[in-house]
Amino acid sequence: MSAARRGVGLFSLSFRGATAATGGFASPAAVSMPLVSSRAMAFSLRLHSRLEAHGISSPLYLKTSHSSQSSAKTNDSTTVGTSLPTLEIDAFKRSAALKRPTSPHLFIYQPQLTWGLSFFHRVSGGILGVALYGGAIWYVLSPFTSAAVATYVAGFPWIVKFVAKLGLTLPLAYHTFNGLRHLFWDTATKYGLSLTGVYQTGYAVIAVSAAVGVWFAL
């Protein structure tokens, strides 16, 4: 028996049960849920057949649920109702059978300027926070004076001092200018929220941040 014919058979049984539960008249409320259940069941059975035809272990399981049994109490305290078949799907097994990733991750997305700037805005904020609070705690707890630290750092090679300062000035400049860019978005101007405006302001933030960061690090 084909999947579609089995779905129709399930719908027919559900329709008869709904008719019996309403005393011979199938109300729209009584038929709507069996109709939806039968259509979902027919689709699931077709999917089951196609997976089995391609040699893929089907993640679909059928069982009869008695918890979803609809019941109606009549005046003589008798219960009338039918149990409807339900479908259980193992989502992890289905994803593994279809070779889908179980969770989205950065490596499946195409690199774009928009999400890259958003990512580095959060990274630069984290770097500045760690540098600010970590440096303040170290300064309070350290037994060295500011003059002693300055004398010690002055003995480093120029390139070491330049790279160290650049590690602070670049995140600071980028986080500042990109923050101003976000504030500009809050004005809801047509240019700022357009695709052209987003990319142009993004490239401008990168250029200005690099120039200011290098200038302060020299």
Q: What pTM does this model have?
A: 0.53
Dist CA 70 CA 27 (whole Å): 14
pLDDT in tens, 193-202: 899 999 999 9
Nearest partner of 173 among 210, 204, 199, 200, judged by Cα: 210
Mean pLDDT, rounded, for 22-30: 43
Burial of 64 (0-12, 13-18, 19+ CB in 10 A): exposed
| pLDDT average, residue stretch 125-134 | 94
Highest mean pLDDT: which of 64-73, 83-92, 118-127?
Answer: 118-127
What is the rounded average pLDDT of the residues 38-48? 70
Residues 6+ apart with CB under 8 A from 117: 178, 202, 205, 206
CB atoms within 10 A of CB 88: 10
Q: What span, in angstroms and rounded, lies between the C-alpha atoms of 131 and 137? A: 10
Q: Higher model confidence: residue 151 or residue 76?
A: 151
The one-letter amino acid at 191: Y
Q: Which residue has the higher pLDDT, 153 or 93?
A: 153
Q: What is the pLDDT of residue 145?
A: 84
pLDDT digits (tens, 9 = 90+) for 55-66: 665 555 444 444
